[in-house]
Structure 1
Amino acid sequence: MYEQISHTLLNDILNRIKPEISEQDLRHFYTRLGANFYGIHLLFQRLYGDRDDFDQQAQKLVETMATQYINRPDRLRQLDLAREKDYNWFLHQQWTGMALYCKGFAGTLKGLQERLHYFQELGVNMVHVMPILLCPEGSSDGGYAVSDFREINPEVGTLEDVGQLAKEMKERDILLVLDVVVNHTSNKHYWASCARAGDKKYQDYYYTFENRNVPDMFEQSMPEIFPETSPGNFTWDEEMGRWVMTVFNDFQWDLNYSNPAVFIEMLNIILFWANQGADILRLDAVAFLWKKIGSTCQNEREAHLILQLLKDCCQVTAPGVVFIAEAIVAPVEVIKYFGEDAVIAKECEIAYNATFMALLWDAVATKNARLLNQGIKNLPVKLERATWLNYVRCHDDIGLGFDDRDILLCDYQPAHHRQFLVDYFTGKFEDSYARGLPFGQNAKTGDTRISGSLASLAGLEYALETGDKEMIDDSVKLILLLHGMIMSFGGIPLLYYGDEIGTLNDDTYRDDPYKKGDTRWVHRPSIDWDKADQRNIPGTVEYEIFSALKRMIAVRKEMDAFADFNNRELIEVENPHLFVFGRYHLQKPNEKVLVVANFSNRPKSLNIGELGSWGAQYRQFVDVYSGECPDVFKNNLVIPGFTFYWLSER
């Protein structure tokens, strides 16, 4: 396609644009549209260029972007301009996030607004409020089965409450992260209701079929996501008299992105939430956006084109907003969600580092860093102007999706090793005190995932029950060790609500008929604020964890080397219990931090001579986290059990 063709089309679109749009002040919009339209047209044509209504759909696409630009509040437009100048703003080390359920954390959006001081006390300045939209009771998938993309769940508040929350968060310099569920809707959504009533327009919003012929073709290559609770990938809808694709649950209907009307609808929704004050939008289940017979229907090339197009369109209307890709897939695939064949991110600027999370849990169970080191060696280098979201625990299960080749290189047998990890974290292994629960067991493949709060998986629940002081101390050390890794690795650390005060498993989900079949609810707690108040009482577990994390976050913000500019170097050492890497400042060679972690419960040593240039100029190390100098004996650095150091030269 020649560039002048896209310019001609753009001129035609602007000549036909509605008067209520063209009469507005669109200076910045037109500048950005002109700069981005070649890419937008190219992508839109690749996806939908063979359709007879292509020109009309392209017209609607531009008018959608323009309308949302007009609706964008002036304060957000000013923020866009500032972030266009400081385009690396989200790569700096100042950001620390927390993910939470509004209802579990504070009851309502107003309650959350009243608790903003809590984040500031801890040092958290990015808050991911997980789905708060309207969902059918009992068929919500934790908020990810949306029945209205613009209506708030009345149990937590109103759209006006979201606006007030966003406004005060900006006044406190706290970023707001919101979800947009882009892959599917609830079967109670208006579009689904229209499809069920026989409306062909809305049946084309989904994948629906009169008989099993096409579904059976899909099923030959598609894996099952929830084999226990939702086997297969299609559900028969009696009222519609058609099969509908339901990859996740029978009440979640997959959207058909081969229809440009669906793309434009979802772009409109994304821009709507950008205009409500979201700084970051988490796009859910992006790996599933394109369905193709004969494939797994995950990670398809067209899914990436859709994300590139969403990003280009958002750059025109709300360039200050960045995307998180929720793609829990293999490292070789997840890296593509930053954007393939690119230098800077052109899809999503942020992606979950699920591999690092899973590798950390492997190190906890084995008490060594062999697989952790091996896995990190094979973690692809991210793009510039892109970053990882590093986390220990989230609202979902812990998957064990390590590369089998890495497991074999560590002299483990893949199936046996994964079973060991499941047994360890569910407390079946003899030397384990973890209190996790199995999730998503697949009898066909043997795959099992793990549920459980961080504290219960780390042995704190058992230690508190037995009153074993040494075991309590070890569990707290382990919790802090894991957080020390996500805060220093490179990227944005994301805490999970309750972990900062050692919240244990919540077994009350078993009493709820809508939740009892899903073990993930064991780690989706309602915060006990009386217990949380103990964070201010020395000698309590809550105080030990909260105050340590508070100090960790504060130190991190002062360390320029912890900003994420591909400035990390893995250092392989002989001691298999140690995980060692260096962080450095690209413009200031003398600003370095050496991170050393011991995943054994026993002290381990590191020969400083193994550190190469990181130890060659050693005079005396100081741990910038604790402010103390670690023990050194005969040129060997001594690291106590379950301890990490952030080392800099004194």
Structure 2
Amino acid sequence: MNRDKVLQSIKGKLKLIYKQNYKTDYLDSLIELISKWEKANWAQNDQITQKNVYFITYGDSIYENGVPTLETLNKFLKDHVNGVITDVHLLPMFEYTSDDGFSVVDYRQIDANLGDWSHIHSFAKDFRMMYDFVANHLSKSSSWFQGYLNDEEQYKDFFIPHDENFDYSKVVRPRTSPLFHEYKGKNGLKTAWTTFSEDQVDVNPKSFSMLKELTDVILLYANKGASSIRLDAIGFLWKESGTNCMHLEETHEIIKLWRILLDYFKKDTQIITETNVPHKENISYLGNGTDEAHMVYQFALPPLVLHTMTTHDSSKLTSWAKTIDKVSETATYFNFLASHDGIGVRATEGILTDEERKALVDKVVENGGRVSYKNNTDGTQSVYELNINYFDALVNQAEDRTLDMKIKKMIAAHSILFSFIGVPAIYYNSLIGSTNDYKGLEQSGINRRINREKFEVSYIRDALVNDERRSKVFKSLSELIQLRQAESAFSPYASQKVVDLGPAFFALERENNQTGEKITFILNVTAEKKAVSAAIKGTNILNNVIIDGMVELEAYEFAWIKA
């Protein structure tokens, strides 16, 4: 799109965002911003293919004393996953005050404990980088919020004070803390909207000055090496009286505005929206497949895979998977099983019954995990997420008694991740075979810390060789990824067809129409040997066994059958 068309499109988006409050100088101000960034040097991105596999990690997940953690992490990944992982998702890497990085003090300043922008630049030479943009809220210690408290003119509209004329009755949020908090200001007490915590103050994009700042930040990230940008909790960005203040039209139009600018400056920079909500709401951020997010987090996948592997019944997963279609040639799904957060269950609303969700809750508690809740508009509370390491979450105590069986189940669950349409992302604690971190949980009192354990580099290097659980999980997952990367049928834009072989199996047919390659994935989701007759012929590329109509699989065994 040429500059004139870009400006015309931006003008249209600004009018949709601000409606009757639109002012012509809004466009003039963004033109100034565009002109500034046109003077910068811009590297270009490659398109996403089946070779892209994301690695989700904190910048200090792997550390050594006296060395910037980004340097240590970069070297560790080069040594151990070069050729396996292509994209590194660095969870918030900026100065922060709480929530393990999600209360950002300065969007533009790297946390000194991790390193600085030079370390990010070095990292980007070895891996494609995904940065976290915590666009919905800032730390109360940020200069912007302090300016708001001090009644500085520049920041007077940057945040959202309590308004007695605003109807808050339908507001939906994932926390049980107050929606507003009070803060001591220069001229008395001030209030501010706080979706997540007292230290995480929601920004106000109704102020054009705030939207311009946020837009400058996202362009900064793209210019400083981001191939992907994750929009954290983006569904909460815009607030309107009398609504649930989620997924509002203005939020979608802001993302579309950012897509226009990123396509102009650095095409194929992936916008990835993170909205832990029911599936239909989540996929709304794909827009028409070409104008909004490039990927949406596939939040239904982790709990549905857990349900399937727990009950040995693929019916719910199979039924849901039939609703997942190819989006476009540029948009797809960001698939994961574990992350820095828990296993969200909101995406299963309308898919799993209350009894089925309760069974997962009971299992997680039995396996040493925790449960986090959210407030509902009717004053009740309901389960929001399950906090547990995914390895531990999968275990059925009565039957998964040996380490080998537990490892096999872990790999089986990830075979779904690696086969499903979209781009796979693997959490660092999953790849290195971790289990529940009770020490971190107990020391912090924070449920999510159960799956955020960090490692001294020499310890984890040794463990990947000498610890049976870690070495087997790491080796198996790495080999599976590399095998996947060679098959164009696993392109994130290749078609997907669900093959219903009954509740004991989960099966997909992936086909790349451009290359003609087709692979059928079949997984035995039970703890017993199973056989199934199906009209499938080809070679199982996992073991080179010829398949001709009959597939026999051991407990949790799977096949990739190439026609």
Q: Which category describes the TM-score, using the shorter chain as reference length?
A: over 0.9
Alpha-carbon deviation of 1:504?
Answer: 1.4
TM, length-normalised to structure 1: 0.80
After TM superposition, the structure 1 = structure 2 runs for residues 103-252 of structure 1, keeping only pairs within 5 Å, are 103-106=60-63, 108-121=69-82, 123-136=84-97, 140-166=98-124, 168-169=125-126, 174-209=127-162, 213-214=164-165, 217-218=167-168, 220-227=169-176, 230=177, 232-239=178-185, 240-252=188-200
Distance verdict in 2 for CA 1:71–1:505, change over 3 Å: same
Q: Label 1:477 to 1:588 Cα distance change in 2 as closer, same or farther (>3 A).
A: same
Q: Could you say if the C-alpha distance between residues 405 and 125 of structure 1 is closer, same or farther in structure 2, counting changes exceeding 3 Å?
A: closer
Structure 1 CA distance, aligned partners of 2:226 and 2:349?
A: 39
Offset of 1:299 from its aligned partner? 0.9
Tell me the equivalent position of 2:58: 101
Q: How many residues of Structure 1 are paired with residues of Structure 2 in the alignment?
A: 553
> Which protein has the larger Cα radius of gyration, Structure 1 or Structure 2?
1
Q: SS of 1:39's equivalent?
A: helix
Look up the match of 2:381: 445
Q: Superposition pairs for residues 485-500 of structure 1, below 5 Å?
A: 485-500=416-431
Provide the rounded CA distance (Å) in 1 between the counterparts of 2:475 and 2:554. Answer: 20
Structure 1 residues 373-421: Cα deviation after superposition (integer angstroms, max 9, x where no partner):
12222346523311211111000111222455433xxxxxx22221111
Q: Is the 8 A contact 2:312 2:503 kept in 1?
A: no
Question: Are the equivalent residues in 2 in contact too, given 1:65–1:316 (CA < 8 A)?
Answer: no
CA contact (8 A) 1:577 1:599 kept: yes
Aligned with 1:601 (options 523, 527, 538): 527
Q: Is the CA contact 2:297–2:335 (under 8 Å) kept in the aligned structure 1? A: yes
Map 1:172-571; keep pairs closer than 5 Å: 174-209=127-162, 213-214=164-165, 217-218=167-168, 220-227=169-176, 230=177, 232-239=178-185, 240-339=188-287, 342=288, 344-379=289-324, 381-407=326-352, 414-427=353-366, 434-440=367-373, 444-459=380-395, 471-510=402-441, 512=443, 515-516=444-445, 518-529=446-457, 530-537=459-466, 540-571=468-499
State how far apart, in whole Å, the 1-side matches of 2:522 and 2:209 are: 52
Secondary structure, counterpart of 1:151 in structure 2 = coil
- Taking the aligned partners of 1:301 and 1:625, their CA distance within structure 2 comes to 46
* Cα distance, 1:206–1:441 mapped onto 2, change above 3 Å: closer
Deviation by residue 1:441-480 (Cα, 9 ceiling, x = unmatched)? 65823325211112222339x89xxxx9962111101110
Give how far 1:189 is off. 0.9
> Aligned residue for 1:410?
none
How much has 1:572 moved relative to structure 2? Answer: 1.6
Contact 1:389 1:493 in 2 (8 A): yes
Alpha-carbon separation, structure 2, partners of 1:147 and 1:588: 48
Question: What's the CA shift string for 1:328-366, capped at 9, x where partnerless?
Answer: 222212222121xx2x42111121111122211111221
Residues 5-38 of structure 1: CA distance to partner in whole angstroms, max 9, x if unpaired? xxxxxxxxxxxxxxxxxxxxxxxxxx73223222
Question: Is the 2:172–2:246 contact (alpha carbons within 8 Å) kept by the matching residues of 1?
Answer: no
* In structure 2, C-alpha distance between the alignment counterparts of 1:62 and 1:254, rounded to whole Å: 26
Say if 2:560 is the partner of 1:646: yes
Measure the CA separation in 1 of the matches of 2:235 and 2:400.
Answer: 45
Alpha-carbon distance change, 417 to 320 in structure 1, aligned in 2, over 3 angstroms:
closer
Structure-1 separation of matches of 2:550 and 2:26: 67
Letter of the 2:294 counterpart: E
After superposition, what is the alpha-carbon deviation per residue over 1:249-279, rounded to whole angstroms, capped at 9, x for unaligned?
A: 1111111111211111001011111121111
Closer, same or farther in 2 for the Cα pair 1:447/1:534, shift >3 Å?
closer
Which structure is higher in strand share? 2
> Secondary structure of 2:92's partner?
coil
Q: Give, in whole Å, the separation in 2 of the partners of 1:560 and 1:381.
A: 15
Deviation at 1:547, TM superposition (A): 1.6
Q: Which residue of 2 aligns with 1:12?
A: none
| Alpha-carbon offset, residue 625 of structure 1 | 2.3
TM-fit CA distance, 1:510: 4.0
Q: Deviations over 1:126-175 (max 9, x none)?
A: 11111110112xxx212011111111111111222222322x32xxxx21
Which amino acid letter does the alignment assign opposite residue 88 of structure 2? V
Q: CA deviation at 1:511?
A: 5.1
Q: Following the alignment from structure 1 to structure 2, what is the Cα–Cα distance between the partners of residues 457 and 201?
A: 48
CA contact (8 A) 2:203 2:210 kept: yes
The SS at the match of 2:344 is coil
The one-letter amino acid of 1:490's match is I
Partners of 1:625 and 1:528 lie apart in 2 by 34
Matches of 1:56 and 1:99 in 2, distance apart? 40
Deviation of 1:535 after TM superposition, in Å, equals 2.9
How far apart, CA to CA, are the structure 2 residues paired with 1:641 and 1:320?
41
Choose which of 12, 20, 29 in structure 2 pairs with 1:50.
20
1:579 matches 2:522: no
Q: Distance in 1 between matches of 2:202 and 2:489?
A: 43
SS in 2 for 1:115: helix
User: Deviations 1:191-246 (Å, cap 9, x if unpaired)?
Assistant: 1101111235413111113xx6245x21x10123111xx2x311122335232111
Higher helix share: 1
Name the structure 2 match of 1:15: none
TM-score, with length taken from structure 2: 0.92
Change (3 A) 1:469 1:487: closer
User: Which piece of structure 1 moves more, 386-395 or 35-44?
Assistant: 35-44
The alignment yields a C-alpha RMSD, in angstroms, of 2.4
The SS at the match of 1:605 is: strand
CA–CA separation in structure 2 for the residues paired with 1:500 and 1:380 = 28
Pair 267,424 (structure 1): closer, same or farther in 2 beyond 3 Å: same
Q: Secondary structure at the match of 1:314?
A: helix
Does structure 2 conserve the Cα–Cα contact (< 8 Å) formed by 1:132 and 1:152?
A: yes
Secondary structure in 2 aligned to 1:498?
helix
SS of the residue 1:593 aligns to: strand
Q: CA–CA distance in 2 between the matches of 1:533 and 1:636? A: 42
Offset of residue 176 of structure 1: 0.8
- Taking structure 1 as reference, are residues 46 and 271 closer, same or farther at Cα in structure 2, changes over 3 Å only? same
Query: What secondary structure, in the 3-state scheme, does the structure 2 residue paired with 1:638 have?
Result: strand
Q: Which runs of 5+ in 1 are unaligned?
A: 1-30, 408-413, 428-433
Fraction of identical pairs, as percent: 22
Distance across 2 between alignment mates of 1:436 and 1:643: 27
Alpha carbons 2:336, 2:417 under 8 Å: kept: yes
Q: Which amino acid aligns with 1:106?
A: Y
Question: 1:4 is matched with which residue?
Answer: none
Moved more, 442-451 or 146-155: 442-451
